[in-house]
Structure 1
């Protein structure tokens, strides 16, 4: 059975589960501070809930209380609530301009108490004055702050601004599970970056370093270096476009509601300014999701409003699988039928089927490739051929796990051309195979990225191509138990998963594939493949082989 506490004037309430021990540390008209101790694991946390005065002079007592508390708290400390003040002019929309004195006291308190803003998802504004048109004001009055100990203990802490319901303030939802893994987003090149005037300068500045003589290794690391630079440049240049979209949507929604009630009284010029900003971010977002971009802008206010209602309601509708066709050709459109067919399809990939033995029809296949043409397949491609291939790429598609789309290679051709052409030597018979190793390592490295469903790597072993080549020629696409024309040897194939993958998922994968699970690392082309930190034990086998070979040498 849980318990509850409130501050002296009853404006702050805290409800706590039974497994939490609570000690009241400070109780004033503007804050209630408690020390929480979990009875199970002994974890301690100080929570300070704030309901600040609307008057600047009245908040002085609040700042002094926080100053005093900060000098004594060494455990994780979370401070959150309604501070009734902002820290910057970007946290306000509408109303009179922000005065420096309005924000200075609060910023100074945050600095002295060594607290940090914990960020948020959702709309920036947590308060609305309930009015529209010129009288409309939005502010970020509610926030969560934390000390360094809090962030060390809960590195994955997240704050979400929820939708306002029955109040002029947005509820704040704090998720601070210590056992959750951080979401590591893989790099994704955004094609709209190339339109920015400073884009090519970023590429030039970060494509100059050489990482060794191997062209594959050099190119691979230059891409990673550029990817890191672009990520930082994008944050500095564009900011969080999705957070800005959520904020502007809330402002537009209020104005549009007023327009529906009073079409003649709305300040259309003001609405159109906000809508223009929102259109700009929508265009960026739609390019990000690789959806069609470009929108019609109507000068007529009524048509403009209808356009926005339709767009806001449908803009985040992602591509969904509405129906699929099963093996006999029947269309399935219910969720249950689609799920069953998906399970059947992937299960059949690992089931043995009858293999035809009559290959007489192969004698009817004419020889279409001349010896000269065959020889050309082994020749090194020149720069013109590589350039034609690059500019024939799909600009919206990324060909590998590095996240760089065809548009990147096309826009940066003059900068990366020499490295890209040099790298083609690795595809010629008898040349470097390090690209295969780098690709495998990159894929396994990304297994740590949290997603739904969880990532899994399957290392497949094929039956010898020589033994089965004639039989496999006759296998049709309907025979799913093959990869590039080879039968899977399930006894020698292995499934690799992240070490935190649940037991149920592990059992499910095995029941479907009948392929055993093993742990990292494994050896691929003589090189250890692993995720996480590089360790000496990963290279133990290679080192032992080298030592054994060295010990077998004798002086001539």
Structure 2
């Protein structure tokens, strides 16, 4: 028996296009059926905006549930593919959403998503609430998210030392409900303070399961992915099982971020003028186009490869930091990798936005008759000018210009 692929990620803000793009990449990479976003920093009024809803959609057949009405900071937002699963809420609080997940005719399981408070007292209330929502022993149960504290002193490196009183309440809740840390791979520390001088690493994010989960889903495991554009590692609750399009030449805005682009541009336009200026200009553009198409960085797929490579390097550095967390060189290297990931994500986001505008102009909405009328008018105007030259090749330049002016009056 297998459960759907589920992710949980403290994205630290979901308004920026870079964060939306990173979430979509995560869904595509792990073929997620559900993604639980934490610390979205989105307020309830934004959800009533149709543009916001469409631009922040993650799944094709999306359904969602949030606790924004209980929190001003937009703490938890669960998104899932409604064509693959159904999520029925049991209890929603400011720091927790618990519900049942059902796939087709398969038996359901209970899922709890948490985003614990920074305050220890509020966290104790959350642990008590989790205990009250515990399912019967024969129901699989998984709890995942940002617990905002760790279980053991060994799960934190540098910073202020952890007092036993800060750890005992979480462990009591785990023991009382018969839970255990789910076996995992990937990053050990799931949070980094983004400082190279005084780095702090700690395991704030985790997955807990009951005994029945291991019986029902023996092949599943938990994967802590590299944090990418956030300071928290995404959690992938993996079930343990494991398009081609036509292209035409389109100028991509992110090319201008490459130094090689400007080298090619200068080389193309530094060719001495030969013959008719218009013909020479067209030849220069053709050569420039050929030169760009031969570059590996011209393909938007190269940005995905670059991001994958950067995230792999990020993961390697995090593994080294786990062994030697106080190494200043490793902290500086991690910060440098994080900056490169941010830049590459911004470039890819730029291309996604540009491509979206092109497709919008091609397909549009049914009620955009005014826009289409303008587009048809411009196309007709262009054809008129071409026909004017073709039908009257003997006309002087002044006569052609006068005819165009009269046409548009």
TM-score range, shorter chain: 0.3 to 0.5
Larger-gyration structure (1/2):
1
Name the structure with the higher strand share: 2
Instruction: Report 1 or 2 for greater relative contact order, CA contacts < 8 Å, sequence distance ≥ 6.
Output: 2
TM-score (norm. length: structure 1): 0.33
Which structure shows the higher helix fraction?
2
Q: What TM-score, normalized by structure 2, do the two folds share?
A: 0.45
